[in-house]
Amino acid sequence: MPASTVRSSPDRIELMGVAVAKPTTDYVKAPPAIKLSEASDIVGSAPRVAEHLTYERILAASTEPQNWLTYYGTYNGQRYSALEQITTENVRGLRPAWVFQCGSYGLHAGSSTYAFEAAPLIVGGVMYLSGWDGWVWALDAKTGQCLWQYNHAIPFDVSLCCGNVNRGVAVAKGKVFVVTLNAHVVALDAATGEMVWDVTNGDVRAAESATVAPLVVKNLVIVGSSGGEFGVRGHLDAFDIDTGKRVWRTYTIPKPGEPGSQTWPSYSPAWARGGGNTWITGTYDPELNLLYWGTGNPAPDFDGEIRQGDNLYTDSVIAVDVDSGQIRWHYQFTPHDLWDYDSNMEMILFEQDGRKLLAHFDKNGYFFVLDPTNGALVRVTPFADRITWGEISPTGAVTPLVYPDKEGEEVHFWPGPAGGKEWCHAAYSPRTNMFYVPTQDVGACVTRRRREFQESIPYWGASVTVDSADAVGQVKAFHAATGEEAWRWNWHLPISASVLATAGDLVFCGTPSGEFNAFDARTGKLLWQFQTGSGHHSSPTTYRIDGQQYIAVPVGWGGWIEGYAPGMAGGPHGDALFAFALPG
């Protein structure tokens, strides 16, 4: 029928030349809204294995190596496991037992650079794991079955320097603790994934964020802050794990009149924008009752003229009384930093000849050993191959040599802003008395470019181009007694993933190109390698279930690639967790 001949009426309309019934204004009722996981195979609950996870058990975590109860495995930060089923003799038989994947939904912050950076925790056969963009999962650690998932809604416009990442959770007393990119601290029911409490711990309007894995000590959950590239004021906070009530906050940049304030200009608000964030988990000595927490770069990163002085407590380790939050002592690794040399990275507690010691591999390329009772320097030696920014004498005297000084004048130095070692962690084996360190040999060109401070806008004070060529990496072993290099494994790309050491005399570490490797801890010989399909920028852990040892490693290349491996900016992305085990 020609359209022109269709006769309209109150209850009919013309559509493609045909008169059809006009849609009623009575809407069909849509099915009820559901949580996304209800349309999945996710179980919805986990065994109540975390209810009896107490501070005392975490304190003695080394006595239950079948679990990985806290971020570093134990409070001392050694990333060492006494599990010995997988050995130098049989590691060549290691194969994937299962793989967990989530994938990326919709639009989110850093959607092209998100990374899987977590350290999986294992409690009684359940793996607790965090991902990018507010994801938390409980998995059956034997099968990979997702038991529950939680997702915190994160604004896609949060200010992030270094990608959409999260480094892990803490678990205790039936709860899972995680921070979010919009600077919340959240406690979840470990059996259901339901939120128990939620505290806002930072100001996203000021570019504060949070990426750190929380640390449970006593009845406190301790979290650090992020945002140093945006001129925030760093802080460390402790919350009651039952209620979420803040117990203490310690700022890492003193206000005028407070101890350390003399290291900031008295004539400007530089201290208020001073950085010094606490974005990597600290270690803890229960006998001394001290936390050892690293602090980040001062802000602006490269323009020191407007923040003259040493800029305490940036680029330092602060020894913090866990009950009060008071800083008992500090050691600053790079006074008046002009190279973006954060010192957040692990503070490994170990002993030599009965003496307590603290080991730290700094971005500035030097390996420091301190006395953890008072912060006194015991030894400092270089661990990076090329160090041109300056020199540190055996007594700890720092002499800057190359730095962005004059506006518009480019300088080049090693290590670049990602450091001789990034945040990714070293490990220590008491069996070999060696440290195992992921290293980066990458330089950078930096030109000072002053800018005015504005909240939420990057505050670097320079133009930065990190070398994409002539950039390599290693896994290096150092004798703990002397600081001398024992062996190294060379790779054609910077190594920016954490190391795991085991009593099987193995060292595990991944590469930006996707290989996951096992080395002989005593010789450095590569014994096993598996291509996981995407680069490594996470912290592998190990555990045992029903007599079977597993090695778990999150894989997903991303984060601050332009800082630590710009030559791999086009590397394949991913977001999988591999669990490896021996056959049978």
Catalytic positions, please?
340
User: Does an H or E element contain 564, and which?
Assistant: helix 561-564
Give the sign of the dihedral formed by CA 64, CA 67, CA 71, CA 72: positive
Degrees to nearest 5, angle at CA 367 with 361 and 369: 100
Is 185 or 551 the residue whose CB approaches other proteins more closely?
A: 185
Shortest distance in whole angstroms from residue 185 CB to other proteins:
10
The footprint of other proteins (CB under 8 A) covers 23-24, 27-37, 39, 105-108, 149-158, 182-184, 194-195, 198, 200-206, 208, 231-233, 235, 246, 251, 255, 269, 272-273, 452-457
Task: Using DSSP, state whether 39 is helix, strand or coil.
Answer: helix
Phi, psi of 470 (to 5 degrees): 55, 45
Q: For residues 264 and 580, which CB has a smaller minimum distance to other proteins in the complex?
A: 264
Q: For residues 293 and 333, give the distance between their C-alpha atoms in angstroms, rounded to a whole number.
A: 13
With a CB cutoff of 8 Å and minimum separation 6, the contacts of 15 are: none
Omega before 430 within 30 of 0, i.e. cis? no
Residue in this structure with the two tokens 């140093």, named with its chain if needed? 228
Q: What span, in angstroms and rounded, lies between the C-alpha atoms of 238 and 22?
A: 62
Pairwise CA distance, residues 403 & 407, whole Å: 11
φ, ψ at 5 (rounded to 5°): -95, -5
Cis peptide before 300 (omega within 30 of 0): yes
CA 574 to chain CA centroid, nearest Å = 17
Q: Output 63 or 112, the one with its CB closest to other proteins.
A: 112
Rounded-to-integer distance, Cα 21 and Cα 479, Å: 84
The first and second tokens of residue 362, run together, are: 């700094």
Q: Alpha carbon 247 to chain centroid distance?
A: 24
Peptide bond preceding 120: is omega within 30 degrees of 0, i.e. cis?
Answer: no
- Rounded to the nearest whole angstrom, what is the least distance from the CB of residue 421 to other proteins in the complex? 29
| 128 versus 428: smaller Cβ distance to other proteins | 128
Q: Which is nearer to other proteins, 222 or 561 (CB)?
A: 222
Pairing assessment for the beta strands 12-15 and 18-21 based on DSSP bridges: antiparallel
CB of 98 to other proteins, least distance (A): 23
CB of 42 to other proteins, least distance (A): 10
Measured from the CB atom, is 306 or 526 closer to other proteins? 306
Instruction: Of 118, 240, 117, give the one whose Cα is nearest residue 172.
Output: 240
Residue 17 CA neighbour count, 13 Å, CB half: 4
Q: How far is the CB of 452 from other proteins (least distance, A)?
A: 8
Measured from the CB of residue 320, what is the shortest distance to other proteins in angstroms?
A: 17
State which residue, 146 or 553, has the beta carbon closest to other proteins.
146
Nearest to 274 by CA among 287, 256, 290, 292: 256
Smallest gap from residue 36 Cβ to other proteins (A): 5
For the record, the structure tokens of 170 come out as: 């803490």
Region class of 336: left (phi > 0), else alpha (psi between -120 and 50), else beta? left
- What is the smallest separation between the CB atom of 448 and other proteins, expressed in angstroms? 21
Give min distance, CB of 240 to other proteins, in A. Answer: 15
DSSP 78-134: --EE---SS-TTTGGG-EEEEEEE----SS-TTTTT-------EEETTEEEEE-STT
**Lookup: tokens for 134:** 């507010």
